[in-house]
Amino acid sequence: MNLEPGLVSVIMPAYNSEAFIEQAVRSVQAQTYTAWELIIVDDCSTDGTAELAHELSREDSRIRCLRLSCNSGAAVARNCAMNDARGQYMAFLDSDDLWHPDKLEKQLQFMTAESLSFTCTAYQQVTGPGMRKGRVIRSPKRISYRRLLLDCPVGNSTVMYDVSRMGKFEVPDIRKRNDDALWLRMLRTEPFIWSIPDVLAYYRVRSGSVSSNKLSLVKYHWTLYRRIERLGVVTSVYHLIAWGVIKVFRLK
C-alpha cells in the first residue's frame, strides 16, 4: 500500500447536496493544515451536486470527483473514495457538514503527541440557513467496542485515523448507521477511539437528512447488531433497548 506521508485523504460522499456542498468544501480549503486531498463521490445526484463538485475541483487540484454509475448509498460511495485515497491519514466529512479551520492541524497534533491511530473530536449541531448553533456533543475520552455498541457518540465528520498503522477498511453496505458499523469494524483492530474535547466540526441538522428520523433507525440498528456484528437475539434486543433509552434521555 503506497501512501503519501503526512497527507490527509478527506472522504466525502454526496447525494443531492447542491445547497450545502460548497460550504463543506470551503471548510476543507480553509484548513490551517494544507496537506490534504478531498475525494468527492457523487451518488447519482438528481440536482446540481455533481456539476458543482466538478467546478470546485477545477479550481483546486487537491479535489478529485468521482461518480457512481447508479444510486447505491453512502456506504458504497465512501468505499469508492476510500479505495482511491492516497494519504497516510483518512478523515471523513459529510457533504452538508463543516469543519473548524483548525480541525486537521489540532487532530494531527493530538495523534502525533499521544501516538494514537484512531481519533474523533467534539462537534456542534447547526440548523437553518443562518447556521444557528445548537447542542454540543462530546464523546468520552476513549470509546471501546462495547461502549460503541450501546450508542455511538462519535460524529462521522470528526473521525480521523492513521491508515499506515491500521490499514484500509470496507464500509459495511447498509443504508443507515454504516458509519457506526465502520467504527465497530475498526475497533476490532484498535482498542479505542480517542476523543478531543474541542469542538472542531459542525453537524447540520435538517429534516430531509438520512439520520433525521430516529424511529426509522431502529431496523437499521437491528441489522447492525444481527447481520453485521452477528450478535445473538437476546444481546441484540438488550442493545436496542439500551440505545432507545439513551436517545429518550438525551432528548429531555
pLDDT grade, residue 213 (50/70/90)? low
* CATH number of the domain enclosing 159: 3.90.550.10
Looking at the structure, do residues 23 and 99 belong to the same domain, yes or no?
A: yes
pTM of the model: 0.89
Regarding whether 219 and 108 lie in a shared domain, the answer is no
Residues 112 and 39 in one domain: yes
Please check whether residues 181 and 245 belong to one and the same domain. Answer: no
Q: Do 245 and 153 share a domain, yes or no?
A: no
Are 56 and 145 found together in one domain? yes
DSSP notation for 129-178: TTTEEEEEE---SEE-HHHHHH-----GGG-EEEHHHH--------SSSH
195 and 223 assigned to the same domain: no
For 17-56, write each residue's pLDDT tens digit: 999 999 999 999 999 999 999 999 999 999 999 999 999 9
- Helix axis angle for 49-59 and 21-29, nearest 10°, is 20
* Domain count across the chain: 2
Structural domain boundaries enclosing 117: 4-208
| Confidence band for 210, pLDDT divided at 50, 70 and 90 | very low
Kindly report the average pLDDT of the chain as a whole number: 89
Rounded mean pLDDT, 180-201 = 95
Residues 124, 22 within the same domain: yes
Residues 156 and 251 in one domain: no
If one compares 230 and 74, the residue with the highest pLDDT of the two is: 74
What is the grid cell recorded at 87?
494519504
Residues 6+ apart with CB under 8 A from 166: 117, 118, 186, 189, 190
CA–CA dist 82, 163 (Å, integer): 10
Residues 40 and 159 reside in one and the same domain: yes
